[in-house]
């Protein structure tokens, strides 16, 4: 099927789009919409992470579970919210760690597009969700697709930093070749767990140290 996605991603994922499971995803979403369900993010933003961070530009991968399920929050970048939407608690904790780690002031918004434009691929394992129902699209095919995305990055690129926060993200470790990439792991930045190891993990400075050591431009984490 013809998927509207940035060209470099289309090239490396074209075989995936032709597999039998993939057309079932938009069919499932279309069916739910016809039943009056609200789906986030809007259709034009489902592949926002891919369109904002081309495959050729990926330096860092941050993995989330699924999109925010509240009105106006999700816009296709994990942990990020649209301008005008208050940063959710996990994102606030990310900003707190960022401030403690490298001294960047906590921004007055939660839009992470600036990171994505520099090569921070903000991938959710599920790319859509029903309003008010977290994990509601976890089993409609997205996991198979995004696992392939992670494996493709691992196989076809080198010196990528993977930030795996929380048990769910860390389960994806098996998809990554650690001999040519850096994996940084911690508990989730959620208020329920952040004090158990996310605060003080220094993942932002460690990411930039690694990239610099490989001759790759570091990330400007300021927003």
Residues serving a catalytic function are 66
Residues 200-203: contacts with CB under 8 Å, at least 24 apart: 200/97, 200/100, 201/97, 202/97, 202/101, 203/97, 203/101, 203/163
Count the alpha carbons within 13 Å of 179 in the hemisphere toward its beta carbon.
1
Is residue 140 within 8 A of residue 104, CB to CB? The reply is no
Strand blocks (E) in the chain: 39-40, 60-64, 120-124, 129-130, 161-165, 182-186
Burial 145-181 (b: 16+ CB within 10 A, else e): bbebbbebbbeebeebbbbbbbebbbebeebbeeeeb
* Residue 203 structure tokens: 């993942």
Q: How far apart are CA 220 and CA 126, in angstroms?
A: 27
Strand partners, 129: 40
Is residue 6 within 8 A of residue 51, CB to CB? The reply is yes
Residues written for the chain: 223
Is residue 64 within 8 A of residue 115, CB to CB? The reply is no
């Amino acid at each position: 099927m013809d998927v509207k996605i940035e060209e470099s991603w289309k090239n490396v994922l074209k075989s995936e789009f032709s597999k039998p499971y993939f057309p079932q995803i938009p069919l499932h979403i279309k069916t739910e919409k016809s039943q009056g369900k609200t789906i986030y993010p809007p259709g034009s933003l489902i592949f926002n992470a891919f369109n904002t961070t081309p495959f050729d530009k990926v330096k860092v991968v941050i993995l989330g579970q699924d999109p925010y399920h509240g009105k106006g929050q999700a816009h296709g970048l994990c942990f990020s919210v649209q301008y005008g939407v208050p940063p959710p608690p996990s994102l606030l904790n990310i900003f707190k760690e960022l401030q403690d780690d490298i001294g960047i002031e906590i921004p007055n918004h939660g839009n992470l597009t600036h990171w994505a434009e520099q090569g921070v691929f903000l991938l959710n394992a599920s790319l859509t969700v029903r309003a008010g129902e977290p994990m509601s699209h976890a089993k409609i095919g997205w996991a198979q697709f995004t696992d392939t995305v992670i494996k493709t990055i691992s196989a076809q690129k080198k010196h990528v930093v993977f930030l795996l926060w929380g048990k769910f993200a860390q389960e994806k470790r098996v998809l990554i070749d650690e001999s040519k990439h850096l994996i940084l792991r911690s508990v989730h930045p959620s208020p329920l767990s952040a004090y158990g190891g996310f605060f003080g993990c220094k993942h932002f400075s460690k990411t930039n140290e690694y990239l610099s050591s490989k001759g790759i431009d570091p990330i400007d984490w300021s927003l």
